[in-house]
Amino acid sequence: MAGNTFGEIFRLTTFGESHGTAIGGVLDGCPPGVDVDRDRIQGELNRRKPGQSDLTTPRKESDEVQFLSGIFDGKTTGTPIAFMVPNQNQDSSDYSHLQNAYRPSHADYTYEQKYGYRDYRGGGRSSARETIARVVGGTFGRFVLDTYNIDIKAYVSSLGDIELNQSYKELDLSAVEDNALRCPDPDTAKKMTDHILEVKSEGDTLGGTITCVINNVPRGLGEPVFDKMHADLGKAMLNINAVKGFEYGSGFEGTRMKGSAHNDRFYKEQGKIRTLTNHSGGIQGGITNGEDIYFRVAFKPIATVMKNQESITSDGSGTIIEGKGRHDVTVIPRAVPIVEAMASLVLTDQLLRQKIRR
C-alpha cells in the first residue's frame, strides 16, 4: 500500500534512508531449505557499491550485509529473512545547506509535497542507496532460479550517444565484467570510458540504456491479465532510480513492422515447441513461451552535476545549488546488478506463483 514492498509471494520490503542508521529489508516467502551463499551476496553488493573503479564515485562504503533472521545452519528456514547494511561515511553536515533548497530533478520537492516533512540528508529515502536491499533480495532469488538453470545477465548497451550496435545474440555476455563499464564489447567500452572522462571534466553527467537477457525460462510463467510477465518486469525496472523507459522484445522499433513480418513462427525442435524468430521477447499474451526474455531500460543522466545551478527554496526565494561532493558521472555501470536483481525478484515471484497450479 505505501509502496515499500515488491512481489506477491516472494516479497521484498525495503527500509532505510541514505543517512539514517541502516539500509535493509525483509524478504518474506523465500522457500525453506535454500543454501545461502553469503559470499555471492556480498559479491553482488560489491558490483553495486561506489568506489569500485575510477569511473565511479570515490566515496568509500564497505556495504557489508548483516543478517538478522531467517537463516539457520546456512539455509533459509522459510521464515522472514531480515538484513541490514549499516550506513557509514555519512557526513550529514554535507547536506545542511540543502535543508530548504530543492535540487533540480531530484525528489526533494516532491517528497516534501507528499509527506509534508522530509529527511533532507542525502536524498533520504529517495537515495539510490535503497537499492542495496534489492540487490540482497535479488540474490536470494538467484539461489532459487539457479535450481531451474534460469540465468539473468544485463549489460550497458548505450551511454549518451554511444550505442552498442550488436544484438545480445552477437555478444559474448561472459565478458560483461571484464571492464568497469559492464559493456561486453571492448571497443565500445573504451569509447564509453573516454566519453565519461570527458564529460566528467565538464562537470556534467550522462544517461544510457541497459539491456537484460534471461535464458532457460520455463514456459507458462506470468499472470494475465494484470500481472503479465513483461508488465511485472516493466514495473520492476521503472521503480529503479532514474529509469525513464522500458521496452521488451521488438519494443518501440517493432511498431514499424508489419504483422506478417513481426509474427514469430512456431516449429518443433528436439521435442520442444520453439519459435523461429523472437520479436515476442519470450513472452506471448503475458506468459513465457520458453524463448529468451530480453528487454531494454532507459536511464536519464544523473541530476547531480558539478556545476552551479539556479533553484529555489521552500519559501520560493532563489538559491544556487553548488556542484560539489563525490558523485558518479553516470549510474549505468553500477545499475547493471540492480537491473539483474529486480529481474530476479520478478522471475522468482512468477515462478512461485505458477507452482500453485501444478
Q: Which of 1, 39, 93, 174 forms a contact with its own copies (CB under 8 A)?
A: 1
Q: Which helix (H) or strand (E) holds 339?
A: helix 332-355
The amino acid at 114: K
* Shortest Å, Cβ 262 to its own copies: 5
225 lies in the binding site for its own copies (CB under 8 A): yes
Q: Pattern of binders to its own copies over 148-187, x per CB under 8 A?
A: ----------x-xx--------------------------
By CB under 8 A, residue 193 contacts its own copies = no
Min separation Cβ 12 and its own copies, Å: 8
Based on the shown chain and the rule CB under 8 A, indicate whether residue 81 belongs to the binding site for its own copies: yes
For 298, list phi and psi in degrees, rounded to 5.
-100, 130
CB 147 → its own copies: shortest distance, Å?
14
Cell numbers at residue 266, please?
A: 512456431
Q: How far apart are CA 62 and CA 22, in angstroms?
A: 13
Which 8-state DSSP code applies to residue 161? T
In degrees, rounded to 5, the angle at the alpha carbon of residue 279 between the alpha carbons of residues 273 and 280 is 65
What's the min distance (Å) between Cβ of 279 and its own copies? 7
* Interface residue with its own copies, options 82, 144, 196, 214 (CB under 8 A): 82
Shortest distance, CB of residue 150 to its own copies, whole angstroms?
Answer: 16
* Other beta carbons less than 10 A from residue 173's beta carbon: 16
| Chain centre to alpha carbon of residue 329 | 17
Over its C-alpha atoms, the chain yields an Rg (Å, rounded) of 21
What pairing do the DSSP bridges indicate for beta strands 151-159 and 283-284?
Answer: unpaired
20 counts as binding its own copies under rule CB under 8 A? yes
Residue 331 identity (one-letter amino acid): V
Q: Residue from 196, 230, 334, 338 that binds its own copies (CB under 8 A)?
A: 230
Does residue 214 interact with its own copies by CB under 8 A?
no
Kindly tell me which of 51 and 251 has the beta carbon lying closer to its own copies: 251
Closest to its own copies by CB, 193 vs 304, is 304
The Cα 65–Cα 343 span in angstroms is: 21
Interaction with its own copies in 238-277: which residues (CB under 8 A)?
A: 238-239, 241, 244-252, 254-260, 262-268, 271, 273, 275
Residue 330: CB minimum distance to its own copies, A: 9
Residues 212 and 184: their CA atoms lie apart, in Å, by 12
* Rounded Cα gap, residues 88 and 202, in angstroms: 29
Binding to its own copies by CB under 8 A, coded x per residue (else -) over 107-146, reads x-xxx-xxxxxxx----xxx---x----------------
Q: Is 46 in the site for its own copies (CB under 8 A)?
A: no
Cis peptide before 225 (omega within 30 of 0): yes
Q: Which of residues 295-334 bind its own copies (CB under 8 A)?
A: 298-305, 307, 309-312, 316
Stretch (H or E) spanning 109: helix 108-115
CB of 308 to its own copies, least distance (A): 10
